[in-house]
Amino acid sequence: QKEVEQNSGPLSVPEGAIASLNCTYSDRGSQSFFWYRQYSGKSPELIMFIYSNGDKEDGRFTAQLNKASQYVSLLIRDSQPSDSATYLCAVPRAGEKLTFGTGTRLTIIP
Amino acid sequence: GAGVSQTPSNKVTEKGKYVELRCDPISGHTALYWYRQSLGQGPEFLIYFQGTGAADDSGLPNDRFFAVRPEGSVSTLKIQRTERGDSAVYLCASSSDRGKPQHFGDGTRLSIL
């Protein structure tokens, strides 16, 4: 089992709808979780992070943690074409080094 | 302030050559990380510095790879006797302290011919 797994997609969502991205992790002791957005040919950009103590909302983005099932979700409300990108989930391993999933490619259809 | 700066943005060289990749972290960030990203994959950890010392170099693939951060700010990733399999985007990230969110630079796209 990979340490961090994501469905590679592509995931197509109509403009204005909710995009839901999921990530499963193998280390039950993980305490923090990061979501990065990566446009084609660009570097990862941090858009959201949560700790094991609860969910978090920031504008159109919500990150949710399900510790029992060991997955984290990123919800994007009112999806815009500019949200089209690859979304990377990352979990720290041994405290510092991030382990990334392969990313989910999201396409928002106008 | 300015974000993480990486130079060069692109580097093309021949197999067997030596390359140096530079990273200038966000001012005041004590933690610095190097990752490598291949097409269609997420970044893979290479090495982590806290201050001047390499706190974790477990991700370096072999002894051809080496990194330094002599004054606790700028870091250089050095690759000797490059191989075609070293071709990738090399990403640098920094954070204000250990455990804090990491912010990435634009990367260096390395191509070994």
Q: Mind listing the pLDDT tens digit for each residue in A12-43?
A: 999 999 999 999 999 998 999 999 999 999 99
pLDDT at B23 over 60: yes
Angle at B31 between CA B27 and CA B34, to 5 degrees: 105
Smallest CA–CA distance, residue B48 to chain A, in Å, is 7
Q: What is the pLDDT of residue A8?
A: 84
Q: What is the pLDDT of residue A2?
A: 80
User: What is residue B52's DSSP assignment?
Assistant: T
Any B CB within 8 A of A25 CB = no
Q: What is the pLDDT of residue B73?
A: 94
Please report which confidence band the pLDDT of residue B37 belongs to, taking 50, 70 and 90 as the band edges: very high
Interface size between A and B, measured as CB pairs under 8 A: 56
Cβ distance B33 to A98 less than 8 Å, yes or no, reads yes
If one counts every other C-beta atom within 10 angstroms of the C-beta of residue A31, the result is 13
Digit-coded pLDDT (tens) for B71-101? 999 999 999 999 999 999 999 999 998 888 9
- d(Cα B104, Cα B76) in Å, to the nearest integer? 15
Tokens 């709808």, located at residue: A17
Cβ distance A96 to B105 less than 8 Å, yes or no, reads no
User: What is residue B101's DSSP assignment?
Assistant: P
- d(Cα B86, Cα A60) in Å, to the nearest integer? 38
- Interface mutation target, options B102, B108, B109, chain A, most CBs of A under 10 Å: B102
Cβ distance B42 to A46 less than 8 Å, yes or no, reads no
Any A CB within 8 A of B70 CB = no
| Helix locations, chain B, DSSP H | none
Q: What is the pLDDT of residue A53?
A: 81
Contact A93, A101 (CB under 8 A): no
Digit-coded pLDDT (tens) for A48-100? 999 988 899 999 999 999 999 999 999 999 999 999 999 999 999 877 899 99
Name chain B contacts of A52, Cβ cutoff 8 Å.
none
Q: What is the pLDDT of residue B98?
A: 81
Cβ distance A95 to B106 less than 8 Å, yes or no, reads no
* B65 closest CA partner among B109, B23, B19, B33: B19
User: What is residue B58's DSSP assignment?
Assistant: T
Smallest CA–CA distance, residue B106 to chain A, in Å, is 5
Please compute the mean of the pLDDT values over residues B59-77 and round it to a whole number. 96
- d(Cα A47, Cα A74) in Å, to the nearest integer? 10
Q: What is the pLDDT of residue A94?
A: 77
Radius of gyration of chain B (CA): 13
Name chain B contacts of A49, Cβ cutoff 8 Å.
101
Please report which confidence band the pLDDT of residue A1 belongs to, taking 50, 70 and 90 as the band edges: confident
What sign has the CA pseudo-torsion A65, A50, A26, A75?
Answer: positive
Smallest CA–CA distance, residue A103 to chain B, in Å, is 6
User: What is residue B25's DSSP assignment?
Assistant: P
Please report which confidence band the pLDDT of residue B1 belongs to, taking 50, 70 and 90 as the band edges: low
Average pLDDT in chain B? 95
* A105 closest CA partner among A22, A11, A4: A11
Q: What's chain B's length in residues?
A: 113
Q: What is the pLDDT of residue B79?
A: 98
Taking only residues 53 to 92 of chain A, the set having a beta carbon closer than 8 angstroms to any beta carbon of chain B reads 88, 90, 92
